[in-house]
Structure formats: structure tokens, C-alpha cells
Amino acid sequence: MNKKLHILHLEDSKTDAEIIQAKLAKEGIECEITLVVTREDFTNALEQSKFDLILSDYELPSFDGLSALMIAKKQCPDVPFILVTGALGEELAIEILKKGATDYVLKGNLSRLVPSVERALKDVELITERKKAEEEIKSQLEELQRWQDVMLGREDRVQELKREVNELCHRIGGTARYLNQEDTSADSGTVEPTS
């Protein structure tokens, strides 16, 4: 990782927070962690700062990881959310992943933490690149549409001018210069000689 990560960590155990921070540092993840415990602190942190990653315990005294996930998905849907918790049943884990968590790691198996963080950040990078490519394609399509509209407008104007020339020739008693719209010489812009 080349940049310093800004991580929001929802955790009520200072010891667990220190262990997680030490694990990240030991594995070469340079980060600045904002530690919060309550719902209010969590929402305030999301409103006041931009984070690269959210780590969250599941069970807290007055708050839970699922509620935190729902708040995060509303306020910063593109930020990866990893649950780091002591215990989590299979059904609950599946529910949390379905609701949008990036991953979950058990505190008893922190060897999965750094690979999970790296994968989550790589996914964000790929999604960002894809969105950028989609925006570029959209911009190019819009530019092509503008050029098509310009060219169609010019073709309409050419046809209008041909009709005006024909009307003018008719008024002065001459032969129409452009016999019909399918005439190849008319489409090429060359003028038919008059008799």
C-alpha cells in the first residue's frame, strides 16, 4: 500500500482496537484510525471526515454492527465495511454480507484481517476505475451524438437549399437543377447543368 489509509473503527474494547491496529501495522498497512464507540460518534465521524475503510465490532453496549452498516451504506456507500467481531453465527454473517458488508473477520482469526482489507481496497479501486471508464464512454457517446446531430442538421440544410434552388429556377423559368433527392450528383453537391 502506498498511501496512508484513513480508517473508522467502531469498537468498544480499547484492547481489541490496539490489537487490530498493531496487526495492521505489523502487516505493513500504514493507517490513521479514528476510534468511536457510540452511534452518535460513528455518525458524526462519517459526516465530518472521509474514510477509506470502516472496521466495526458487531456487539457494542448501545449499538451494533448491523445498524452501523446501514448508516454507512446510506452516508458513504462506496467505503468498504468489514466486521471484526468476537463471534458471529453463520446465518448472521450471511445476512450482514447480503446487506452490503464487504467481509467479516473473527477476532480469534486476525490472520484474515489484512488480506480482507487488501481485497476490499482492491475492489474499491477496480470499481472506481470501472466507473471512470463508464463515464468516459458516456462522454464519448454524447460527443458522437452531438456530431451526428450536427451532420444531420447539415444534410437537412443541404436538402433545404436544393429545394430553394429548384423553386428559384422554376420561378425564373429555368429547369430544376436538382431533379430528385436520390440523384447522385445532387447528393455529391455538384450542380446539374441547365439546358
The domain boundary, picked from 100, 119, 134, lies at 134
Closest CA to 36 of 69, 14, 59: 14
Residue 56 is placed in which grid cell?
A: 466495526
Residue 178 makes CB contacts below 8 A (sequence gap 6+) with 162, 163, 165, 166, 186, 192
Same domain, 125 and 179: no
- Give the full edge-to-edge strand order of the sheet including 103-106: 31-36, 5-10, 53-56, 81-85, 103-106
At 186, is the pLDDT very low, low, confident or very high (cuts 50, 70, 90)? very low
- For residues 108 and 143, membership in a common domain is answered with no
Could you read off the pLDDT of 111-138 as tens digits, one per residue? 999 999 999 999 989 988 988 988 888 8
User: Mean pLDDT over residues 47-73, rounded?
Assistant: 93
User: Domain check: are 90 and 128 in the same one?
Assistant: yes
Could you read off the pLDDT of 156-173 as tens digits, one per residue?
A: 788 888 888 888 888 888
- Does 9 map to a domain? yes
Residue 151 clears pLDDT 80, i.e. is over it: no
Whichever domain contains 125, its CATH number is: 3.40.50.2300
What pLDDT score does 44 carry?
96
Q: What is the mean pLDDT of the chain?
A: 86
